[in-house]
Amino acid sequence: MELKQLLEAVDTQVLTGDIIGAFDQFAADHCVTLSNAQDKTHSKAQKIEALRWFFDNVASINRIERPASLTHQNTTESEFLFDFTSRSGNPMVYTEVIRRTWENGQIVEEQYLIGQSLDQSEPTPAAASEVQPAANETPAKAKKTTKKSQENTTDNLVIIEGIGPKIAELLNKAGINSFAELADSKPTAIKDILEAAGKRYQIHDPATWPQQAALARDGKTAELKALQDDLKGGRK
């Protein structure tokens, strides 16, 4: 099967809502997935576990669209719009570019560019897991580039129980874009952001958000699910 046919086959399955089944069918056992350096899986089994945890927190799949796709030599890029509702009733609506690297008809790497569209993402021959130094770049400069890349990480904060798209947007505007940044934030500082945004946000309690974010940052999906099972709207 040609690469374009493989892309259409996997994306058609995703569009039906069978995201776990699509990954299980087309990913190699050693497939690596990542959205950032902290959120990375190293096998099909590990990613499927993470997907099951994610969908355990989804009450309904309202809509999935694929506005565009691209095929390169051994990589493909698909832009999706996902519209979910969480079990706590929060809407989870976001765009994402899924960049896949293929070998022998199987996905060996899948990268998630959350909040991006294909006209924003830069096509590459292969999705890079790490920033590689240029030939004329010194090790010190290369290290600085890697650090800058990590600082610009953007995570899907609506995974945190109690955070919906509007609050995620408020946090992004305040400079909190990643699980790591949220984990390092004090609840009182987050509360100040909510207070400043108006009455509709003042009822939210961010006391557990840094704790949840730390677990998400470290890839501790089982521990995060256990914690969220004891929460109601992000509160203990």
Domain residue spans of the chain: 3-114, 154-229
Q: Domain 3-114 class?
A: alpha beta
Name the band, by pLDDT with cuts 50, 70 and 90, for residue 37. low
The predicted model scores a pTM of 0.57
> 230 is written with which tokens?
């004891």
The per-residue pLDDT for range 128-173, each reduced to its tens digit, is 333 333 333 434 433 343 333 334 567 889 888 888 888 988 898 8
Pair type for strands 58-71 and 40-41: unpaired
Mean of per-residue pLDDT scores for the chain: 82
Q: For residue 143, give both structure tokens.
A: 């290290």
CB atoms within 10 A of CB 48: 16
Q: According to the model, what pLDDT value does residue 150 have?
A: 39
Q: Which fold has domain 154-229?
A: DNA polymerase; domain 1 (1.10.150)
Q: According to the model, what pLDDT value does residue 86 have?
A: 82
pLDDT in tens, 64-113: 999 999 999 999 999 999 998 888 787 788 888 999 999 999 999 999 98
Instruction: Reply yes or no on whether the pLDDT at 59 is more than 50.
Output: yes
DSSP strands (E only) in 74-166: 75-86, 91-103, 106-114
**Model pLDDT, residue 235:** 67
